[in-house]
Amino acid sequence: MGAHALGALTTDQGAALQAHLAVCPSCHREALSYQAIGEGLLHAVAERVPPARVRATLLAEMAKVRRPAASPRRISFSMAGALAGLVLALGVSVGLLTQVMGLQRQVNSMGEQLQINQTALALVAYPGARSLPVIGENAGGTVVIDADQRLGVLIAWGLPALESAQTYQVWMIAPDGTRTSGGLFAVSRAMPYTSIIFHAESAMTAYRGIGVTVEPAGGSLAPTGSRVLRADF
């Protein structure tokens, strides 16, 4: 009651008390007595005007008060938080970019594999298409060719993946032993076999077979490495 008389209650507290006083006569009478006491306190001391000297001194002291500067520590914490957020955002962006690039590589690889599969099916559908065995010391496979075409499909298994400084190279072997490049390929450790399309300068009737060697990255003009696969037409 005393806090209510002095105006010290919150809005919610005052509303709750007023609701109670409306239904409780005894509490209502008590509240009136406290209100009278509160009003008496307001007039217990006579109002006095402060001397001009005191007022001037008070205003001078108030003029010296300045708004406190922002705490350097608080600023540094804010900057640290902003930098941390920036670093986090950059990390997320880099992570997303890496994922997108990885997905793009997978899509490209799937597209290449689909093209190879479609070419192999098209070759098999030709009346003159042949599937020939591919022989290697620790590897093997199949080659699909058509006598009138300038390309073929090589499917090989058992070939180890090479370091980035090396590559596999297909060689088209002419009857006189001359060898021309039919293309380069790599082996994925994630795949149990490798399928590629190789290309020739002439129709397959102009060659007696193919060979595969290990060459420096970028390929060679003529075979320089050991032969790992061969197929006779």
pLDDT in tens, 64-120: 655 555 555 555 666 776 777 777 776 766 666 777 676 676 666 667 777 777 777
Confidence (pLDDT) at 21: 74
3-class SS string, the chain:
CHHHHCCCCCHHHHHHHHHHHCCCHHHHHHHHHHHHHHHHHHCCCCCCCCCHHHHHHHHHHHHHCCCCCCCHHHHHHHHHHHHHHHHHHHHHHHHHHHHHHHHHHHHHHHHHHHHHHHHHHHHHHCCCEEEEEEECCCCEEEEEEECCCCEEEEEEECCCCCCCCEEEEEEEECCCCCEEEEEEECCCCCCCEEEEEEECCCCHHHCCEEEEEEEECCCCCCCCCCEEEEEEC
Statement: residue 158 has pLDDT above 90: yes
pLDDT in tens, 2-22: 555 556 567 777 777 777 778
What are the residue ranges of CATH 2.60.40 in the chain?
Answer: 129-232
pLDDT in tens, 165-210: 999 999 999 999 999 999 999 998 888 889 899 999 999 999 999 9
Confidence (pLDDT) at 112: 73
C-alpha Rg value of the chain to the nearest Å: 46
Per-residue CA distances from 77 to 74, 82, 89 (Å): 5, 9, 18
Confidence (pLDDT) at 190: 83
Statement: residue 131 has pLDDT above 60: yes
Statement: residue 45 has pLDDT above 90: no
Confidence (pLDDT) at 25: 75
Distance of alpha carbon 45 from its chain centroid, rounded? 74
pLDDT in tens, 134-152: 999 899 999 999 988 999 9
Whether 110 and 206 have beta carbons less than 8 Å apart is answered as no
Confidence (pLDDT) at 76: 63
Confidence (pLDDT) at 206: 96
The CATH class that applies to domain 129-232 reads mainly beta
- Strands 140-146 and 129-135: what pairing? antiparallel
Task: Match 């093209």 to its residue by tokens.
Answer: 115
> What is the model's pTM?
0.54
Compute the distance between CA of residue 181 and CA of residue 221 in angstroms, rounded to an integer. 7
Q: What is the distance between the terminal CA atoms of the chain, rounded to a whole angstrom?
A: 111
